[in-house]
Amino acid sequence: MTENVDVDKQKRILDLRKEIAKSIYKSPKTDEELKKEFKDASYEDLTATLKNMLVLKLIKREGFPAKYSISKEIAEKLDSRKSISESDKNLIKVSIMIESKGDNKATLEDAMNKILERLKSDKKFLVYESKIAEIVVHDGLFSTYIEAEVSCKDLQSLFRLVYYYGVTSIDVIRPEKLNIPISDLQESLFTIVDMTHGYADMIFKLKQELNYITGKK
């Protein structure tokens, strides 16, 4: 049975889960140590996240005093991320979400899988990790999102990522500052202009088709 789920809370827990994994990957932590480290997170979210990670066997809790430590599988995953990062020559790295809704669960799932497959195979980007969230019912529609960390060669590639993949949320991981040569800025602006014209042409064509169907001039 599908139930209404607080999507915002689900996202908070996923974000917190990622940060906890990074923290205890470095060294095991007790409940109190985690509370102090993640003091901006509510007690409810922290407790729910730790329970979720234990159920999924992402972490383990053992010893006295009891400490949380990362599972072998997740440790290997973090090592893999580190290896990718060391070989990544791209200038920009971002964390993105691509959200979507639909009235058919199977169609939505298929569409999101295709988007993620296309992103992973796109040579313009390097995908560190990605995940499609569980499909839930929100505001009467099936809802889900793709969460991914992606690096891009330059500003132009970043604009294309946002436009062509329908990014709905984005956080810049690196760099802290970006010095852009005038040639790169000009090229990026041309990219935006092209995308804007393409969108305007699409709207114009759709309007013509609608007028034809309705008999309007």
Q: What digits encode the pLDDT tens for the residues 66-107?
A: 999 988 887 877 777 777 777 788 989 999 999 999 999 999
Q: Does residue 37 have a pLDDT over 50?
A: yes
Q: Under a CB-based contact definition with an 8 Å cutoff, are residues 38 and 20 in contact? A: yes
Evaluate whether the domain defined by 7-78 bears CATH number 1.20.120.1080: no
The full 3-state SS of the chain, as one line of letters, equals: CCCECCHHHHHHHHHHHHHHHHHHHHCCECHHHHHHHCCCCCHHHHHHHHHHHHHCCCEEEECCCCEEEECHHHHHHHHHHHHHHHHCCCCEEEEEEEEEEECCHHHHHHHHHHHHHHHHHCCCEEEEEEEECCCEEECCEEEEEEEEEEEECCHHHHHHHHHHCCCCEEEEEECCCCCCCHHHHHHHHHHHHHHHHHHHHHHHHHHHHHHHHHCCC
pLDDT recorded at residue 33: 93
pLDDT recorded at residue 164: 86
Share above pLDDT 70 across residues of the chain, in percent, rounded to a whole number: 87
pLDDT band with cut points at 50, 70 and 90 for residue 145: very high
CATH architecture of the domain with range 91-179: 2-Layer Sandwich (3.30)
